[in-house]
Structure 1
Amino acid sequence: MFLAAVLLPFVAVLLVPWLVPVLKRRTGWVLSLLPLALFVYFAGYLSQVAAGSPVEVHYAWISRLGINLSIYLDGLALLFVLLITGIGFLIISYAAGYLGEQENLVNFYSFMLLFMGSMLGVVTTGNLLVLYVFWELTSVASFLLIGFWFHREESRYGALKSMLITVFGGLSMLAGFILIYLMSGSFEIREILARGGDLTSHPYYIPALILVLLGAFTKSAQFPFHIWLPNAMEAPTPVSAYLHSATMVKAGLYLLARLTPVLGGTPAWFYLVSGIGLLTLCYGSFMAVRQTDLKALLAFSTISQLGLVTALLGFSTELAVAAAVFHIFNHATFKGALFMVTGIVDHETGTRDIRELGGLRQKMPVTALVAGLTAFSMAGIPLLSGFVSKEMFFSSSLSLPAQGLAGWLFPLMAVFGSIFTFFYCMMFVFNVFGGKPTETPAHPHGDPWVMLWPPLLLALINVVVGLYPGVVEHLLVNPAASGTLGQSVTAHLALWHGFNLPLLMSAAVILVGLLLFTRQKAVVAFVEGVQNHRFNLNVLYDRSLVWLNDGATWITKVQMTGFLRDYLVFIFLWFVLSVGGTLLYKGGLNLVTLDLSPVGPYEVVLALVLVGAALGVVLLPTRLAAILSLAGAGAVVFLFWVNLRAPDLALTQIIVETVSTVLFLLAFAHLPELKKEDAPGREKFVNVLVAGASGLLVTLLMLSGNATGLFDPVIADYYVQQSVPLGGGHNVVNVV
């Protein structure tokens, strides 16, 4: 039943082509019942999981490779499952009002359900390799949804960019998973977690950590891999609200949280994860200030907030982890609502350009209220849920075990990023809904309730949780934090902790943010000036694609010459360099224990004749002579088998050689006249060198293989011993 619930969205994809022609725009209302039902189903496990009893289901799949369909639902996984299904219900309902019938609704809802199922698979699977499969499926679904309006060049560009960056990270992560398997002996997450911090002392720890972090950082848009997320805003607004705010971009955060007990707790983890997280927080909030498109502003805002959570996971203290999972919940609610508000503004006014908007509170008062509540929650205004998690963030940064530079730099970075977060939140609310009404391409007629109720519900959640944070403390936050650290966490969430340094930091953020907002034009101009002079990662990405294409073109010109000789040289040269180089580096050749049989005069004569025949094939000037020389080489091999008393092989050899010679002679009559090959001396030298090296390497491999006993007992001895009792014959070859 549990596995069926996880896979149900994939089944629903098959129904979409049948529902849309009948229900049209109402399809979203019907399909939204699926995530709602899943939300209710999984919410039934809240008490069990909070009591410390995770759900574990195991289905054998490819057991020999350690790949099983395992389900592991603890507090951490359940938090993400409820966000995926709960936000999914609201977003799909919202999409029913946002998308018109002229859109390709079959594709849209199919891709959304594909993503939902993939994301559920990521957070519920108990096997790393299965996690990787679902992980890449989320990238595929994201690619399809970003490119939903594929007739737009910007959509195609954004889709490809997200795919290339996240798939690069996914492949790196897969390599990291393999290293974790080599360290732990298992792909099962439960078994890996049982090892705790034992893996941190393994020689593979640092490479595994870096590779896994590449996967997490690319997925969760951490600096410098954040560049795909702003371009992903070319997707329809429901996609941005669901994938690129509330769920998909948090897959990397889930991975970090899930593997914290295994990879965390080291200086490398602390400085890499926390450092990159705080850098991303500051960079994202700073760059959000200069954006004029509301979705672009929210994109950089998302980058910044993901950096905040990443930093908290890097701190890895109980308070920090509790703050991280709480802020994951908060961010999903207020950012999902803000994206939906942006969609409403665009839908009603025909523009998302902040410079063209203003005074919308008069025509859309409830929308303005929702925008204010959720934006101020993100800004950390008291009485809202974002304030509580922001206070916990400040407290965590002040209680770091690190001394020296990080001890004071990290809290300063936290304050810096929060100031600009406050600034752009003020921009979002007052530049769009405050001031005097402006002329827009379309004229709003009021609050569109068919799209407004989902963000309104999320705004109310921010208010309720802000006033009474204890409602999520015992059932969501503490179980998720316990699942992250692998030990019981009993953090206390409260709106008021008295007058302390974190409260002073919050007050400083608000005061400085207000001061900067009064000088909005000067601040934006300053940020734009910094942007214009900084190193542009997007330019580097674009140029890297050009360099990649140019490099591939050059390689193709070098390799695809149209001459068979060149292709053979490339193939055998690669064989010699890769296999021979590996053997030399690893010292894999074993000729010391080689036990050779005595060589008689017959073998010597036959070997010399065989060499002469082989040389004749390549040196004789006519095709007929070459064919006869080739037949002679086959005849010598036949005599070898006779000399070794293997009549069955000898008969097979002579039959094959006879038939082959006849076929060559038949084809010979239809071939053009053989021309003398006039190759330059350098080409002939390369031919001899590659051919000689290939032959020598194969000979050495054969001799080394005969001298090395890879199995005990030796396989050849086993067949000799068992030929009669098991096969009933003395001829081992026939028995085999």
Structure 2
Amino acid sequence: MSLLHLAILLPLLAAPFIPLLFRGMKQIHTGWFVLIVPVVLVTYFAGFIPITSAGDVVTETIAWMPSLGINFTAYVDGLSLLFALLITGIGALVVLYSIYYLNKDKESLGHFYVYLLMFMSAMLGVVLSDNMIVMYMFWELTSISSFLLIGYWYEKERSRYGAQKSMLLTVFGGLSMLGGIVLLESMVGSYSIRDMVANSGVIAESPFFLVAMVLILLGAFTKSAQFPFHIWLPDAMEAPTPVSAYLHSATMVKAGLYLVARMSPVFQESSVWLWTIAGVGMFTMFWGSFNAVKQTDLKGILAFSTVSQLGLIMSLLGLGAAALHYDGMDDNIFMVATIAAIFHLINHATFKGSLFMMVGIVDHETGTRDIRKLGGLMTVMPISFTVAVIGSLSMAGLPPFNGFLSKEMFLKATTKVFSADFFALDTIGILLPVIAFVGSVFTFIYSIMLFTRTFMGKAKFDQLPKQPHEAPIGMLISPVILALLVVGLGFFPNVLSNSLIKPAVESIYPTLVAQGQDVKVDIYFWHGLTPELYMTIGVILLGSLLFWQMGKWMGIYNRIPHRLTLNGMYDGTLVWSNKAAYRFKDNYMTGFIRSYLIYIFVFLSGMMLFSIWWFDMYRFSFENLAEIAPYEYVLGAVVMLAALAILFMKSRLPSIILLGVVGYGVALFFVFFGAPDLALTQLVIETVSVALFLLVFYHMPDISKKEVRMRFKVGNAIVAVLVGTTVTLLSFMALTNKSLTSISEYYKENVYELAAGKNMVNVVLVDFRGFDTLFEIVVLGIAAFGIYTMIKFRTTRRTKGEGEHEAKQQTRQ
């Protein structure tokens, strides 16, 4: 295993030791041990910056299932390195923050940090895997680990609800993405992302191109909380604040953005890709900001703001993908859009991470996140207030913070985009800057709300569960570091231009780099009196006016009934699907094994007979058959007559005896045909089965009291004849259509040399099919444990019942 693979799996390898450390070293917070992992990883990945900055990549491969084209190929380029640094860098700050946020005496830290490390490893696997099947495995691991993290406080109903909602929606998207991956592999014959990019022309010509694209986008949209799949993210805020700061600012929700950026060269031939990403992203940006304004919970505001910011980045990736169509344009605005997407991706991680941690501090030190109860905290929490102001103004896109720079680039991209021919100048193209402007206005409003309603205004300390005070210095370190990055990247944005942003953009557009086109990243504040600057001024003026007059227009949020909202539809769908599932289950789960066997036999026989007819496989030849001895005729007649007689028996006892006759007759056939092992097994099974049947029916009430007459059932007879006919036809077809040498010849030649055994049956069971035998033993063992448990439970319950009865008798006496 290479060092790169070890880095990806390091959090998973460290996770099993966390519970031991939690139990064995109670005097030290477990987070201090966990902190070592992301610090080591971010240091290790930082060493790749000179490599990717020079345009080189690092690839390491471990053969896993090469026959299926599935290998664990770790691939580090500019894009994957950027995400790896965000995952480990923000992860280190989150772990440090959690040490002071989570009480080691009250929280189950052993579980928490195992889930966190599992998630960290899963995210690294997603962004560093070149093989899409391996990436999908890590992708679903992010869903599982985030489910555990969101539901960490499982005693709360809302935590369980949020975890379930995130799991259902993201796993649905993941399964859709898997279908897209399989289709892409069928087009190019490889699961490698690099091979798919190299064969994008072949993919574009496939009739399944559009289907594969839609399935891939479903995976990306659900994970990155794009409309209408965004509804899981606000409910995921029930997780502890360190989880929210990690999952929803720098990692999980960014996985969908990573997938879109990585797959853009694959679907570069279709403008539908550009339209869909840009359109969905833009509307998500507006819808998230619009709904954030009505929230009264601080984490609720940040949740919808995250939805909005993710939509902004998604729309920029959609616009930037058009560079592959219009790389010769003057003032390549589409390349600017991609640079803005990468830059805002970094900026969002810094200001949103600091804001989540600030909200956690407010909740931790006041006991509430309700802005209706908060206010006036600036005097008692000055450092937290400073962090809140920096993060909020950066999110609002105001200078001199880093969010202003990327927001200006976003507005520039939308104002210039309708100059491209495919964007219909007078119709849809003009909507993009309009939606961007309106969404930015609401972004400005909720950003101002975030710190003014919390830290300014009249103090309401008497309404707070706790007496507010500034957080301890340890809890402030992480948000202060992120706030300093917000300011630093605002004043010195080009510090990341050539080291991180340019390599990431070049990784998204490898074809442009191959053509010799240079990606120039030069970010600065003053661009002159431009349309985007006027839009920013308009955002500030209109946003300030609407914020001042909020009481007069907030009633619009009460117009739509809950049942017509997306959340209402989701809840209604769950209720309806549960009722429908129970109703369907009650119809076929009758409690009778006979009914279940009918379902299985009818389906199996129907499918087999249909396949035989559809593929024209009913060919039979009775040539070259061995002669049938007279005693074989007699034995066959006995077996058939006994089997037919079972249908006409009026009671169970004769049916059991006749069934035993059939079994013993088959055992004699095994003896005649030279299979003593099978005969012995059959005789033992028939003996035990008949004895058990007789024993069971003897103790049944209706058997012990009176003989129950069994009616002849035409339906059962038809099913029996159908199954018998199907098996007979299959036997004749197998005998006739032998195109390959029997596998028994292989066993005859190899049982002694390969397994050093002379008994072919034993060798096959123990060596050649050893796993089958092992699993059969496991199944029998599980069944034995189940039977023992039921007997033990019944015995215990009977003993308990008798004891209670005796106690009642003594009480009466």
What is the CA-CA distance between 1:58 and the residue it aligns to? 0.4
Whole-angstrom CA distance in 1 between matches of 2:437 and 2:563 = 23
1:573 to 602, 606, 611: 602
Normalization by structure 2: what TM-score? 0.80
Work out the number of aligned pairs and report it: 718
Aligned partners of 1:721, 1:447: CA distance in 2, in Å? 74
* Equivalent residue in structure 2 for 1:140, among 140, 144, 147: 144
- The partner residue of 1:403 within 414, 423, 431 is 423
Residue 638 of structure 1 and its aligned partner are, at CA, apart by 8.7
Instruction: Decide whether aligned partners of structure 1 residues 467 and 198 sit closer, same or farther in structure 2, where only a CA change above 3 A counts.
Output: farther
Matched, 1:153 2:157: yes
The CA distance in 2 between the partners of 1:133 and 1:182, in whole Å, is 19
AA of the residue aligned to 2:412: S
Gaps of 5+ in 2: 324-334, 754-759, 765-813
Kindly tell me: are residues 283 and 583 of structure 1, through their superposed partners in 2, closer, same or farther at Cα, counting changes over 3 Å? farther
Q: Trace 1:145-294 onto structure 2 (pairs within 5 A).
A: 145-294=149-298
Task: Determine the C-alpha separation between the residues in 2 that align with 1:665 and 1:14.
Answer: 50
Partner of 1:502: 532
Q: Does the Cα contact within 8 Å between 1:589 and 1:704 map onto a contact in 2? A: no
Deviations 1:554-581, CA, capped at 9 Å, x for gaps? 2332233232211211211232455555
- Say which SS state the counterpart of residue 60 (structure 2) adopts: strand
| Partner Cα separation in structure 1 for residue 471 and residue 659 of structure 2 | 88
RMSD: 3.4
Aligned to 1:333: 350
Aligned partners of 1:274 and 1:312 also within 8 Å: yes
SS of 1:525's partner is helix
Match of 2:13 in 1: 11
Distance in 2, Cα, partners of 1:411 & 1:314: 14
2:469 to 445, 448, 466: 445
Whichever residue aligns with residue 720 of structure 2, its letter is A
Counterpart of 1:14 in 2: which secondary structure?
Answer: helix
Relative distance call for 1:85 and 1:582 in structure 2 (3 A) is: farther
- Correspondence 1:483-502 to 2 at 5 A: 483-487=507-511, 488=513, 490-495=519-524, 496-502=526-532
Quickly say closer, same or farther: Cα 1:543–1:579, change in 2 above 3 A: farther
Residue 371 of structure 2 corresponds to residue 354 of structure 1: yes
Q: Does 1:525 align with 2:555?
A: yes
| 1:246 to 1:662, Cα distance in 2 relative to 1, 3 A | closer
What do the CA deviations read for 1:411-461 (whole angstroms, capped 9, x no partner)? 222222111111111111222223333325233334643222322221222
> What is the CA-CA distance between 1:659 and the residue it aligns to?
6.2
Worse overlay, 369-378 or 330-339: 369-378
2:773 corresponds to which residue? none
For 2:361, give the aligned amino acid: I
Report the CA distance between 1:120 and its aligned residue. 1.4
Shift of 1:504: 2.8
Cα distance change of structure 1 residues 59 and 720 upon mapping to structure 2, 3 Å threshold: closer
Partner amino acid, structure 1, of 2:497:
E
Q: What does residue 359 of structure 2 align with?
A: 342
Q: Distance in 2 between matches of 1:331 and 1:658?
A: 73
> Is residue 388–residue 493 contact of structure 1 (8 Å, CA) maintained in 2?
no
Q: Which moved more, 1:556-565 or 1:148-157?
A: 556-565
Q: Give 1:382-401 correspondences, 5 Å limit.
A: 382-397=399-414, 398-399=416-417, 401=420
Is 2:741 aligned against 1:715?
yes
Q: How far 1:686 sits from its partner (Å)? A: 2.9
SS in 1 for 2:377: coil
Deviates more, 1:419-428 or 1:502-511: 502-511
Equivalent-residue separation in structure 1 for 2:48 and 2:86 (angstroms): 14
Aligned pair partner of 1:546 in 575, 583, 596: 575
Q: What is the rounded CA distance, in whole Å, between the counterparts of 1:22 and 1:630 in structure 2?
A: 65
Question: In the alignment, which residue of structure 2 is the partner of 1:365?
Answer: 382
* Pick aligned residue for 2:337 from 302, 313, 320: 320
Q: Offset at 1:233?
A: 0.9
* Rounded Cα–Cα distance in structure 2 between residues aligned with 1:622 and 1:451: 78
Tell me which moved more, 276-285 or 78-87. Answer: 276-285
Say if 1:624 and 1:546 are closer, same or farther in 2 by CA, change over 3 A: closer
Counting only pairs closer than 5 Å after superposition, residues 297-308 of structure 1 correspond to structure 2 as: 297-308=301-312
Q: Summarize the Cα distance change of 1:485–1:708 in structure 2 as closer, same or farther, 3 Å threshold.
A: farther
Checking the alignment, whether the CA contact within 8 Å between 1:216 and 1:251 is kept in structure 2 is yes
CA distance, structure 2, for counterparts of residue 31 and residue 629 of structure 1:
68
- d(CA) in 2 for partners of 1:226, 1:255: 17
Q: 1:418-433, aligned counterparts within 5 Å?
A: 418-433=440-455
Residues 621/306 of structure 1: CA separation in 2 closer, same or farther (3 Å cut): same
1-structure distance, mates of 2:276, 2:108: 43
Distance in 2 of aligned mates of 1:119 and 1:605: 68
Within 2, Cα distance between the matches of 1:685 and 1:309? Answer: 66
In structure 2, what is the Cα distance between the partners aligned to 1:136 and 1:368? 38
| TM-aligned CA deviation for residue 72 of structure 1 | 0.8
State the alpha-carbon separation in 1 of the partners of residues 504 and 30 from structure 2: 34
TM-score calculated relative to the size of structure 1: 0.88
Task: Tell me the residue number matched to 2:800.
Answer: none
- The alpha carbon displacement at 1:675 in A equals 4.7
Q: Report if aligned partners of 2:63, 2:72 keep a CA contact under 8 Å in 1.
A: yes
Give the drift of 1:589.
4.0
Q: By how many angstroms is 1:503 displaced?
A: 2.7
Amino acid of the structure 1 residue aligned with 2:417 = S
- 1:691 is matched with 720
Equivalent residues of 2:651, 2:710 under 8 A apart: no
Q: Deviations over 1:482-539 (max 9, x none)?
A: 222333361423223333333333332222212212212223333x224547822222
Aligned to 1:515: 545
Structure 1 724/220 Cα, relative in aligned 2: closer, same or farther at 3 Å?
closer
- Aligned equivalents of 1:144, 1:635: Cα separation in 2: 55
Query: Quick check: 1:627–1:664 contact (8 Å CA) kept in 2?
Result: no
Is 1:80 matched up with 2:83?
yes
Q: Which residue of 1 aligns with 2:61?
A: 58
Residue 365 of structure 1 contacts residue 447 of structure 1 at CA under 8 Å; is this kept in 2? no
Tell me the amino acid that sits aligned with residue 464 of structure 1: G
Q: Counterpart of 2:155 in 1: which secondary structure?
A: coil
What CA distance in whole angstroms lies between the structure 1 residues aligned with 2:607 and 2:219?
Answer: 29
Aligned counterpart in structure 2 of residue 119 of structure 1, from 120, 123, 128:
123
Q: Deviations over 1:680-712 (max 9, x none)?
A: x8xx34323433333344444445555657x6x
Moved more, 308-317 or 494-503: 494-503
Q: Which stretch of structure 1 is more off in the superposition, 285-294 or 515-524?
A: 515-524
Q: Compared with structure 1, are the counterparts of its residues 600 and 13 closer, same or farther at alpha carbon in structure 2 (3 Å cutoff)?
A: closer
Q: What does the per-residue CA deviation read over 1:598-655, in whole Å, with 9 as the maximum and x for residues that have no partner?
A: 889969978887654532232245678657766776798799999xxx8425x77876
Aligned-partner Cα distance in 1 for 2:679–2:367: 83
> How far apart are the structure 1 equivalents of 2:746 and 2:246?
66
Mark the CA change 1:598 to 1:10 in structure 2 (over 3 Å): closer, same or farther: closer
**Cα offset, 1:351, TM superposition:** 1.9
Name the SS of the counterpart of 1:71 in structure 2.
strand
**Could you tell me how far 1:332 is from its partner in structure 2?**
0.6
Question: Which whole-Å CA distance do the structure 1 matches of 2:681 and 2:475 have between them?
Answer: 77
How big is the shift at 1:380? Answer: 1.2
Q: Give the unaligned 5+ runs of structure 1.
A: none
One-letter code of the match for 2:15?
A: V
Shift of 1:254: 1.3
Work out whether residues 374 and 453 of structure 2, in 8 Å CA contact, stay in contact via their aligned partners in 1.
yes
Task: Find the counterpart in structure 1 of residue 623 from structure 2.
Answer: 597
Correspondence for 2:794: none
Report the Cα distance in structure 2 between the residues aligned to 1:291 and 1:479, rounded to whole angstroms: 38
Q: 1:135 to 1:513 in 2, by over 3 A?
A: same
- Contact 2:563–2:569 under 8 Å retained in 1: no
Identity %: 44
